Amino acid sequence: MKDDRIAQGVLLVDKEEGVSSFECVRRVRKILGVKKVGHAGTLDPFATGLLVLLLGQGTKLSPFLMAGRKRYLATLRLGCETDTLDLTGKIVRERPVESLCLEEVRKKASAFVGDVEQVPPSYSAVKHKGVRAYKMARRGVPLELKKRKVTIHRLEIHSLDLPEMTLSVDCSCGTYVRSLAADLGEALGAGAHLRSLRRLSSGPFTLDGAVRVGDLGPDAADAALRERIIPLTDALPDLSECVVDEETARRIRDGYQPGIEDLVGGIGAVDGTVKLIKGKELVALGDVTESSVGMKKRVRILRVFH
């Protein structure tokens, strides 16, 4: 077994259709010999595109990366609804597709931009009474999932070739593009399901430099894959960095909550979540807030990396 300490960070994978997210995790785990591998947001087997894999200590970054925006390219099929809201499900309703023009579709789509309420698909990993919704749906158990608020930052209709149309969407964490497709289809008076879905970006990452699933076969080179790993220090590029010395780093890893005086150069105007760095190592993620005593800034450690 290879040393887990070497493979720490983030690996970007371009997932293919028909391959599950778990299968991508399994292949990377086997090639690198790393026990701890997770991901920052799964993709359905029919979907393709960016899968952000977290290796070793990188799994601690999950809540920070999961919270980032996602961007997708999707194709909808109008006039046909399925129980899963995508092409893998059974057809439950068909309707004629009236003549639609691109301008009309774009006008209807604009109503979905902003904060919207969305019902998750019955065939989803959302828990209902402690059980995954898809497990209950497969058993034919009726579900009434609660609406949740999500944010559609941008929705652009690229083409309309009835009965299909192609769009791109920038959205918040927790958004189901399948539900968006169904809701948009209903607004157009025809219903719809998702024919294809490709994730283009997730948080700070895009498909640039992503490893193809085809390159994760049994003959994949361990060394070549390791060269593609994004170090922990670079995994959250939008966060400010604060430097700590070796002694402070050791103390933080032992449970110490540092003060401003422990940071090289202080905090200055920095607020919110920051990276605490020693050399090329990510020591911790901390939250900079105003102290209730004298309104001085303090650092509350959120995650520690060894």
Are the C-beta atoms of 202 and 52 separated by less than 8 Å? yes
Residues paired with residue 151 on neighbouring β-strands, in sequence order: 115
Nearest to 3 by CA among 179, 298, 226: 226
> Could you tell me if 291 and 297 are in contact, meaning their C-beta atoms sit under 8 angstroms apart?
yes
Secondary element (H or E) of residue 31: helix 21-32
User: Is 44 part of the annotated catalytic residue set?
Assistant: yes
**E-assigned strand segments in 102-204:** 114-118, 127-128, 131-132, 148-161, 164-171, 192-202
Catalytic residue among 3, 4, 14, 44: 44
In 3D space, the residue among 162, 190, 160, 165 whose CA is nearest the CA of residue 80 turns out to be: 190
Distance of CA 303 to the CA centre of its chain: 19
- Give catalytic residues, as residue numbers: 44
